[in-house]
Amino acid sequence: MSEENLRILIEFFGAVLVAFMTYFFTRSHYERKRRDELADREFNRRLSAKDKKIADAQDYLNAYLELTRTITRIELGMVTSGDTDTYEAEVNKIPDLTNNLTANRMISIMQLGDSELQGLNIQLMLLARQEYENLCDLLSAMKREDTVDKNAILERISEFSGKTGVVITKIQVRLNTLAEKM
């Protein structure tokens, strides 16, 4: 084989090797880029889903806040004014407010998978339920014109407001912490 043929053969194999390496590295680069893009999309999808769950939990919390404020406002109004007729219609509307707190909305808390948050939610539900029962009892007692200890009721309302305020604040802090963890 002549030197000229050898040189052409070396150049040919060199060109084939360069073409193969270019193809291999380019393909490897695009595959890695594609994998990274898919991973980013998946991460953003999960992030978006978690953001939605936290927003749903926040809406749920706001509905509970509205419920507790309504209960407190009605109780204070009945105790201070002695008027049950005006407030009876509002007491009867409370079940409509609780429709915002249905199982579908409560699931947003459960889906976050945070046991502390779930425990706080149970505390809030129990507090609101108990105070609603107290409100109904107060309404019944006042309609029967039973003697009610206004100071004891005002103290109970204050205690309820304080406890629910603490629980709602803890839930809000926990939701913020979960949102930051993403």
Q: What is the DSSP string of 108-163?
A: HHHHTT-HHHHHHHHHHHHHHHHHHHHHHHHHHHHHTT----HHHHHHHHHHHHHH
pLDDT digits (tens, 9 = 90+) for 23-77: 887 887 788 888 878 777 777 777 677 888 888 888 888 888 888 999 999 999 9
Residue 127's nearest CA partner among 96, 78, 170 is 170
Core vs surface per residue 2-36: b (16+ CB within 10 A) or e: eeeeeeeeeeeeeeeeeeeeeeeeeeeeeeeeeee
Task: State mean pLDDT over 72-97.
Answer: 87
Closest to 101 in 3D by CA, of 53, 134, 66, 145:
66
State the number of CA atoms in the 13 A half-sphere of 164 facing the CB. 27
Token pair recorded at residue 57: 């939990």
Share of the chain above pLDDT 90, in %: 32
Judging by beta carbons within 10 Å of its beta carbon (0-12, 13-18, 19+), is residue 107 exposed, middle or buried?
middle
For residue 1, the model assigns a pLDDT of 66
Instruction: Report the pLDDT value the prediction gives residue 48, as an integer from 0 to 100.
Output: 76
CA–CA dist 182, 178 (Å, integer): 7
User: What's the pTM value of the predicted model, to 2 decimals?
Assistant: 0.72
pLDDT of residue 75: 93
Predicted local distance difference test score (pLDDT) of residue 182: 59
pLDDT over 80 at 137, yes or no = yes
The domain ranges of the chain are: 50-181
